[in-house]
Structure 1
Amino acid sequence: MAGNSFGQLFRISTFGESHGVAIGVIIDGCPAGLPIDLAFIQAELDMRRPGQSRITTQRKESDTVQILSGIFEGQSTGTPIALLIPNEDHRSKDYEHNKNVYRPSHADYTYDAKYGVRDHRGGGRSSARETAARVAAGAIAKLLLKHAGIEIFAHVSAVGKINAPALAPLPVQELFALREDNIVRCADAAAAAEMIACIEGIRKDGDTIGGKINCVIRNCPVGLGEPVFDKLHADLGKAMLSINAVHGFEYGSGFEGSEMKGSEHNDIFETDGKSPKTLTNFSGGIQGGISNGMEISFKVAFKPVATIMHNQQTVDSEGNAAEIKGKGRHDPCVVPRAVVIVEAMAALVLADQFLRNKVSRL
């Protein structure tokens, strides 16, 4: 199976299945001498782990990370960093009923058609459990970016048709406190209360619902991104669209920008005598595929989780008509746990482009 690696200079490769012994990641290209804060890595994983609130899956995983290599006396050595996260609470019996049946909107049929074999236990490699490995790697990328003063913040901006107002221009630490003050991880308390009530109702109905996550990147230096195929927004788009259940990505003005005139959309430059700034930021901090020093902003849309507790018509591996109903423990809405995944993937992109930019000129 190809496609398990991401990045060029700061490169990760993830491995493992949802119901296997463990999942993990190997990070290649992390510079030597980076202080590694294990407590920070664990705290990031704790924000993604299952069973953390009444509106998430009740699978109980501690997601305790183990460092196997690449770190000595609290610092990176410049060699590959290997991180392992054991699986502790997998219930494979919950998936026996769909061993030979294709679940609607899952990867069952496509995996079977492509490889001729599939791990039906929780979706195997296609399970969102794989994203824990990305979060662990993203935590190390965040530690690298912290030295450059780059900050990344994401929060749940929508659940179904409930939309939070635009983020207030507050320091990231204040926004983080507002976000972590509720279980849906929305930085607006009033919108969060509506979202939680919506998700609880959806869960009682045995259904699921989608949502959106907004992300901002602050203090990004000018010059990150390669101007043709590896544009910064293109790398961010690929990173976000690689996350399970993501169905949409837009940056800056996004799709709304297509409804504007050029005279309305152009970001006019001004200067404070040091470096050019723009009066508006419809470009989302990226022009020509390269960061321009303004705040980078983007949105990620997640579809409803495909496993629902209703009877659905489908087919089996022999092509016969069948019926299936979801069993086991599943998220009614994925976005509260996906916030840290979005941040992790953004950090991996920025870390890679940051290192690439260091070798782009004399």
Structure 2
Amino acid sequence: MKILIATGYSGSWPYVPDMVEELRSRGVTVDIFDIDEPRPARFLDRLAFRFTGLRARTTRSVLRHKLDAMASDYDAVNIHFLHPIYADLLDSLKVRGRRLVASIWGSDFLRANDAQRAVLRDILAQAHVITTNNPEIRQQLQAAYPEAEPKVRIMSYGMRSLSVIDQVLRKETQAQSRAALGVDPDKIIVVCGYNATRAQQHMTMIQAIAALPPDVKARQQFIVQATYPDDAAYKDEIAAALDKAGIAYLMLRENMDLEDICRLRIVSDVTLNIQTTDSLAGSIQEHLYAGSALIVGRWLPYEMFEKMGASVQRVETAAQIAEALAVARRKPDPSVTRPDYVRQIHEAACWGSDSLMEKWLSAYRG
């Protein structure tokens, strides 16, 4: 089998890189068409690329030229994250393979404006299979594009990080993981968000934490995961707001290796996630897999976690966040005991499950 994956590769971690590695390990040929790498080769394109007013048009031209040079004998072309630029590339993508698979990631649909939703409609109309990893997103897709519903499938992404969490828990206790990260050995650990974008709503989190009674704040350590993207100005803005509010915190600014990311999930007692939209972020699944409790925005589509029996507390305002944090507790050491729902997450999102890979291969085969 031969597959072409079209995506912005640098922003597709961990889902697409893990998927590519797993497909190749099973003998599938996988090529990547990376929309984040236009790299003009022709002189006139390089010249035009220097001018802001011509850059968007040149990018589309370069990507079309790059795509036209690719093979046209793929069994399937799989678009991951339906970026508006595919409006100019769809015809060329379609003729690269027998089948077109369109994978909705969440914000490509949830944050799309009217013009972008029109592009989505065209892509979905021409796709043979449409995938989403969340039943609630499927319902919203059905409401927006009822004609596409027969083609929509719930398809999880495998996550190598789940296996790494298991490996870390086999070799060290939670206390040892805390020591490895330099985290307080005794306090309740609250991880605030998982990236350094404004959509995470850090300022609302800070407002809530600042309102906590001093004795509650003294029992908790607040960790801000701001490892990506590389937006130093916004990271400084978060730090300044935390300092002004008198909050003791640990901000993780630099990239972390996968093992330390997994340690962060293990040491977290509570994960606070109030980002504006989400489908099913890998970071949230990792936290749950390591036994963390969730405090999440009421608007986020996490009903499936609640049905599994995970600890999910929904909030809408800074005051409600503060109320939830005030009663937060340490979780049991996950190296000793894990929640029952962990098995369900493993079955749904671990590439070690043959049934998960078979779903993707079936979408590609037709």
Structure with the higher helix share, 1 or 2: 2
Structure scoring higher RCO (CA < 8 A, sep ≥ 6) equals 1
The TM-score with structure 2 as length reference comes to: 0.25
Structure with the higher strand share, 1 or 2: 1
The TM-score with structure 1 as length reference comes to: 0.25
